Amino acid sequence: MRMAADRSFDRFGSRRIDIGRIVLNVREGGSGPLILFFHGITANGAVFTPMMARFSDRFTVVAVDQRGHGHSDKPASGYEADDFVEDIAALVRKLDKGPAILVGHSLGSRNSVTAAAAHPDRVRSVIAIDFTPYIETEVFDALDSRVNAGDQVFEDLTAVETYLSRRYPNIPADAIRIRAESGYQRVDGGLRPLASPAAMAETSTGLRADLVPAFRDVKKPVLIIRGEDSKLVSAAALAKTSRLRPDLPVVVVPGADHYVNETAPDITFRAIQNFIDA
């Protein structure tokens, strides 16, 4: 018999915020300076709730379902970097708690760095988790295949968790459960991802855009975190990024893959905390 699911991601209240250009779903808690968390492609803000819990005693923590994902709006178009970036700027303005620390994983990393470069008045600093310029074309080709493969109907939550465990073999069971519990909706025949398939395809294509200008031009403090075993950000891509911006600190997390904040949450938390406190 399947045990009752751990819905720890529900500890933070969820609401939809009209930022003028789109309505975004967020989970939020805590008090103090603002930290915004931005997930990777096909995921949603719930994946960051364990990290939010660690920072909520010092900060106002807000995890965002980015456009096309989770319970946020899913327009027919508008999935280039600039679209996500303007969402971030408008959300910070709407929350009205001053400039924000941006913590982004993968897609969220790209969006956070680009937002800091385009809207420095809205951003205090950025933690960019496992996404940099110079990602190889074949890596993006593999990402496209994985993104498209997720668009299917699953019989039940157990089937979802089995699929996710195979797709993300290094993510621990509790984090897999959060993805399964938060990322799917009931449809005829079973459960289907909340993320819009058309939006995911456009978003994946948009990830190939040149990220060098944003990294070159960003003036706010940026911490780069890479999983040592990441299949998305190669050691060569990271080295080129460091040559582009030798002033940006880098943390490489031993034994972690692309999903650093889920596979190595303790190290990720300490790295972010040390960077913020410094």
The answer to whether 229 touches 218, Cβ cutoff 8 Å, is no
**Domains, the chain, ranges and CATH?**
8-143+194-277 (3.40.50.1820)
Half-sphere exposure at residue 229, Cβ-oriented, CA atoms within 13 angstroms = 12
Q: 106, 125, 196, 230: which one is catalytic? A: 106
Q: Is 150 left (phi over 0), alpha (psi -120 to 50) or beta?
A: alpha
Q: Is 258 known to be catalytic?
A: yes
In the predicted structure, residue 4 carries a pLDDT above the cut 50? no
Q: Is 106 known to be catalytic?
A: yes
pLDDT digits 0-9 by tens, 213-228? 999 999 999 999 999 9
Q: 65, 87, 130, 257: which one is catalytic? A: 130
When pLDDT is cut at 50, 70 and 90, the band that residue 6 belongs to is very low
pLDDT digits 0-9 by tens, 257-271? 999 999 999 999 999
When pLDDT is cut at 50, 70 and 90, the band that residue 8 belongs to is low
Burial of 144 (0-12, 13-18, 19+ CB in 10 A): middle
